[in-house]
């Protein structure tokens, strides 16, 4: 049976905010990974498309949303009978709705005074349960610019201060960065190592609008984490100069062991093309590139759609387009629109299309090792491609959840 997880926050989609966006991405990905996920929120709706269950409990919103008069009293340090009635009501709600889950993941509700009654009720609820409790902390009222504020001036009441700085005894605390963990540990009087860092992450294929079939291939071959990803958006023809391109890739591999080279086109059915394709396969073996080269047509048996081509361009770190002869140069235009660096042969027509905005290489007079040096110099000069790889490797959503978050569920 799938582990049942409740993700709890003031609000959920269609509300738009940093935590709401992250919450939805977590809910979708954890569901995809096989967990039974429910979002419990003060305000939000489920979407028939994503399969995530949503339970809406209005009193989990900020108190200002449903009882502004009470919120005014609390902000002045007055905790009247209406406040304690709300605490008791929320405890009943928690026993009714929260108790059925294996794990409760509370996002940002324990470190802001938007609903102090929730904090008080949940603190009491956790004393009588053996559930796994994770307090997922994105912000804290008393932290600004990675510094803990003076509580004498930051807190509006002693009760607020106690509720926002007293850690739950049987809960695991999560911070979204090492930088944020330092003042959080200070405020909660916890050793830093007892607060686990789960960095924010991004669903790369969703954010980049990667085609589903292409995403399956990228996932299957671990391409998201490769670097550099080099694309030649050409058919497999002798005039495309792919032997030279493979020798460039082999030279780049000396520095980038995880290089990945994708050739998107197909060979024709002519005898000469088949011989050339056989030559390329032998070249790949001799250059020890078997694990570094993908002929995409061997995985997709149809003409690539514009969306599939866009997916290739947007993910690639560079385009190699070193043809011996062309009559135009469509990849130059495509790479420009996706802002993907392109290295092209020194053909007159390429100058017509790309002018002075391209990096030109003459394969007849430039050795593959020299071309590799030119490409490497680009990566080292324009660090954005290296940053892109860093993000793909360290902040991809599935990777972050599996490496940092899910072990905390199992630990508890």
Please give the domain boundaries of the chain with CATH numbers for all domains. Answer: 4-203+396-411 (3.40.50.2000), 206-394 (3.40.50.2000)
Q: Which residue has the tokens 């009720």?
A: 121
Contact between residue 116 and residue 80 where contact means Cβ atoms under 8 Å apart? no
Residue 331: predicted pLDDT: 98
Q: Divide the 412 residues of the chain into consecutive groups of 10 and give the mean pLDDT of each group.
A: 94 88 94 95 85 93 96 95 98 97 97 97 95 97 95 94 96 98 98 97 94 95 97 96 99 98 88 86 98 96 94 98 97 97 98 97 98 97 93 95 93 56
Residue 271: predicted pLDDT: 63
Encoded tokens for 167: 């850690």
CA distance 93 to 113: 20
Q: Which residue has the tokens 């406040």?
A: 83
Q: Backbone dihedral region of 79: left (phi > 0), alpha (psi from -120 to 50 degrees) or beta?
A: beta
Residue 411: predicted pLDDT: 60
DSSP per-residue string spanning 222-279:
TGGG-SSEEEE-S-B-GGG-HHHHHHHHHHHHTT-TT-EEEE---B-SSHHHHHHHHH
Say whether pTM exceeds 0.85: yes
Q: Nearest-CA neighbor of 226 among 385, 75, 77, 366? A: 385
Residue 412: predicted pLDDT: 53
């Amino acid at each position: 049976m799938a582990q049942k997880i409740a993700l709890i926050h003031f609000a959920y989609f269609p509300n738009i905010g940093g935590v709401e966006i992250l919450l939805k991405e977590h809910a979708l990905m954890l569901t995809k990974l096989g967990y039974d996920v429910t979002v419990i929120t003060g305000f939000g709706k489920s979407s028939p498309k994503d399969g995530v269950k949503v339970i809406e409990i209005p009193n989990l919103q900020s108190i200002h949303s449903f009882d502004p008069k009470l919120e005014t009293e609390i902000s002045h340090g007055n905790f009247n009978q209406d406040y304690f009635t709300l605490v008791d009501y929320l405890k009943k709600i928690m026993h009714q709705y929260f108790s059925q889950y294996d794990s409760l993941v509370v996002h940002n509700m324990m470190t802001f005074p938007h609903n102090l009654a929730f904090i008080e009720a949940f603190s009491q609820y956790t004393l009588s349960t053996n559930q796994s409790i994770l307090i997922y902390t994105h912000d804290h009222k008393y932290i600004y610019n990675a510094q803990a504020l003076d509580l004498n001036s930051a807190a509006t009441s002693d009760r607020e201060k106690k509720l926002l700085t007293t850690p739950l005894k049987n809960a695991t605390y999560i911070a979204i960065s090492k930088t944020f963990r330092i003042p959080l540990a200070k405020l909660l009087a916890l050793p830093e190592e007892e607060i686990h860092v789960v960095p924010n992450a991004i669903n790369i294929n969703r954010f980049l609008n990667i085609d589903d079939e292409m995403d399956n291939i990228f996932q299957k071959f671990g391409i998201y984490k490769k670097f550099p990803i080099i694309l030649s958006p050409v058919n497999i023809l002798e005039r495309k100069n792919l032997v030279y391109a493979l020798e460039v890739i082999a030279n780049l591999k000396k520095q980038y062991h995880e290089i990945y080279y994708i050739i998107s086109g197909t060979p024709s059915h002519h005898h000469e093309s088949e011989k050339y394709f056989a030559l390329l396969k032998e070249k790949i073996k001799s250059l020890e590139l078997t694990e570094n080269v993908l002929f995409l047509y061997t995985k997709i048996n149809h003409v690539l759609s514009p969306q599939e081509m866009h997916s290739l361009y947007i993910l690639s770190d560079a385009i190699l387009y070193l043809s011996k002869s062309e009559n135009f140069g469509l990849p130059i235009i495509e790479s420009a629109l996706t802002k993907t660096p392109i290295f092209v042969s020194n053909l007159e027509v390429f100058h017509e299309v790309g002018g002075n905005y391209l990096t030109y290489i003459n394969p007849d007079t430039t050795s593959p090792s020299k071309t590799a040096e030119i490409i490497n110099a680009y990566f080292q000069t324009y660090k954005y491609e290296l940053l892109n790889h860093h993000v793909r490797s360290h902040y991809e959503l599935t990777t972050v959840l599996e490496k940092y978050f899910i072990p905390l569920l199992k630990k508890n």
